[in-house]
């Protein structure tokens, strides 16, 4: 048992160093709207933002330079029904995932709108500048 303690200490130290260096995942939310995000090669960006598709509104990516930051597929959507038991039609959370492709600068812009009402502007937008070194 005692011979594993130095190994455990090394693992904990390595974890703290990786965390201090920013790790491989950058997490952002609606609070980061309008900000600039600094990223490095090999990192992943995860945007978590509230929405309610039962109203017909959805978050959609309007623009991003996929030569710099590429979408990792469709966003995940979830509602925690444990917090809202018996309620249907309540909102939830969208989770968008992007991976760094190469160094550069791009603006990630999303619209919250009803795509079937394209003549109407989005009711909300989200935008961050992303600099990849």
| 1-15, 17-31, 90-104: segment of lowest average pLDDT | 1-15
In a domain, residue 19? The reply is no
Residue 27 CA to residue 4 CA, distance in Å, equals 33
State the residue for tokens 């965390």. Answer: 19
Residue 32 CA to residue 107 CA, distance in Å, equals 13
Output the domain CATH number for residue 66: 2.60.40.2020
What b/e sequence results for 104-127 when a residue is b if at least 16 CB atoms lie within 10 Å of its CB, and e otherwise?
A: eebebbbbbbeeeeeeeebeeebe
Other C-beta atoms lying within 10 Å of the C-beta of residue 28: 19
**Parent domain of 104:** 24-132
Our count of domains for the chain comes to 1
In a domain, residue 3? The reply is no
Classify residue 102 by its DSSP letter. Answer: S
In a domain, residue 91? The reply is yes
pLDDT tens-digit profile of 75-85? 999 986 666 66
In a domain, residue 28? The reply is yes
pTM for the full predicted model:
0.78
Say if residue 9's pLDDT is above 50.
Answer: no
pLDDT tens-digit profile of 44-64? 999 999 999 989 999 999 999
C-beta separation of 60 from 110 below 8 A: yes
């Amino acid at each position: 048992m005692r011979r594993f303690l130095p190994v455990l200490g090394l693992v904990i130290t390595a974890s703290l160093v990786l965390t201090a260096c920013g790790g491989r995942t950058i997490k952002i939310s609606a609070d980061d709207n309008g900000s600039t995000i600094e990223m490095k090669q090999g990192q992943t960006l995860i945007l978590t933002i509230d929405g309610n598709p039962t109203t017909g509104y959805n978050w959609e990516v309007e623009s991003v330079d996929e030569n710099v930051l590429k979408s990792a597929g469709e966003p995940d959507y979830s509602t925690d029904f444990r917090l809202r038991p018996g309620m249907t039609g309540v909102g939830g959370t969208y989770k968008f995932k992007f991976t760094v492709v190469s160094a550069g600068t791009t603006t990630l812009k999303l619209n919250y709108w009803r795509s079937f009402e394209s003549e109407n502007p989005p009711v909300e937008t989200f935008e961050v500048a992303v600099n990849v070194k």
